[in-house]
């Protein structure tokens, strides 16, 4: 598997925000969000090759911890099912973070954390390229306990998220969250109050980015 980093930190986002967790960050992502907060992990040249056994040996040092498998896009990794199966023996809770562009198959995962890509995920080179696949996201929600985090910057994004929600047939079974678009503490401070107001107005749950508040973001945070 291509691994960017393995580290122990506080889960900053979603329904488990605040829980100490072991993070396994895979490298490589076919989406190319201009606001990606893990730029160093999205290239297919990033990270180092590690076997499942090597990763599990590292994870074993945090036996009993929650695990978060994130990226990059973890679902492109061939040995993901074996990794989840191995982690099951040492972790009470496994979260998988995905952009929802690929089906997951049968994984030993407790929470599917889906961050669907709105048009704000398109970069200048691929203006009309779609990264939003409602049928795939519905399939994930039907198979796994799920949360959906929309990364939003303004009202237009929130309205687009609302239209996207209507296309995800199984959406009623997932937690729906809005997360401020920010990759630094300063950006988060500016954007979070505005997004909180959108949550109040539209009934979404506010998704924090505690890693920016506590550690300023970046590698190992």
Q: Which residues define the annotated binding site for Mg(2+)?
A: 38
Stretch that binds ligand SF4, among 54-62, 67-75, 182-190, 211-219 (CB under 6 A): 67-75
Q: N- to C-terminal Cα distance for the chain?
A: 21
**x/- site string to ligand SF4, residues 37 to 66, per CB under 6 A?**
-x---x------------------------
Contacting residue, 71, 86, 180, 208, with ligand SF4 by CB under 6 A:
71
Q: Given candidates 5, 73, 157, 187, which one binds ligand SF4 under the rule CB under 6 A? A: 73
Cα angle at 40 between 175 and 185, to 5 degrees? 60
Q: Pairing state of beta strands 205-206 and 94-98? A: unpaired
DSSP state of 45: T
- What are the structure tokens assigned to 19, written together? 């829980």
Ranges of beta strands (E only) in the chain are: 2-10, 20-26, 48-49, 66-70, 94-98, 111-114, 146-152, 174-180, 205-206
Q: Is 36 in the site for ligand SF4 (CB under 6 A)?
A: yes
Tokens of 14: 């979603």
User: Rounded to the nearest whole angstrom, what is the least distance from the CB of residue 101 to ligand SF4 in the complex?
Assistant: 8
Token duo for residue 6? 């393995």
Q: Per-residue x/- marks for ligand SF4, 102-141, CB under 6 A?
A: -------------------x--------------------
22 binds ligand SF4 (CB under 6 A): no
**Which pair of tokens denotes residue 162?**
């609302």
Q: Is 183 in the site for ligand SF4 (CB under 6 A)?
A: no
| Cα dihedral 199, 205, 207, 210 in deg (nearest 10) | 100
What would the two tokens of residue 107 be? 């994984």
Candidates 1, 33, 140, 148: give the one binding ligand SF4 (CB under 6 A).
33
Among 9, 32, 145, 205, binds ligand SF4 (CB under 6 A): 32
Residues that bind ligand SF4 (CB under 6 A): 29, 31-33, 36, 38, 42, 71-73, 99, 121
């Amino acid at each position: 598997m291509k691994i960017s980093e393995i580290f122990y930190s506080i889960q900053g986002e979603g329904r488990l925000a605040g829980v100490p967790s072991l993070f396994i960050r895979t490298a490589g992502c076919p989406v190319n969000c201009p606001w990606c907060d893990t730029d160093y992990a999205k290239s297919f040249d990033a990270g180092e090759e590690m076997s499942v056994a090597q990763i599990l040996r590292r994870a074993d040092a945090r036996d009993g911890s929650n695990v978060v498998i994130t990226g990059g896009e973890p679902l492109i990794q061939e040995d993901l099912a074996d990794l989840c199966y191995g982690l099951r023996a040492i972790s009470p809770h496994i979260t998988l973070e995905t952009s929802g562009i690929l089906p997951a198959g049968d994984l030993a995962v407790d929470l599917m954390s889906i961050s669907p890509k709105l048009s704000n995920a398109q970069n200048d080179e691929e203006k009309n390229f779609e990264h939003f696949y409602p049928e795939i996201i519905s399939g994930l929600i039907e198979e796994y306990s799920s949360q959906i985090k929309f990364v939003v910057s303004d009202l237009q994004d929130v309205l687009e998220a609302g239209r996207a929600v209507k296309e995800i047939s199984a959406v009623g079974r997932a937690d729906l969250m809005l997360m401020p678009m920010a990759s630094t503490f300063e950006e988060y401070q500016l954007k979070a109050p505005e997004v909180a107001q959108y949550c109040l107005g539209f009934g979404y749950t506010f998704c924090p980015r505690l890693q920016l508040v506590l550690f300023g973001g970046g590698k190992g945070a």
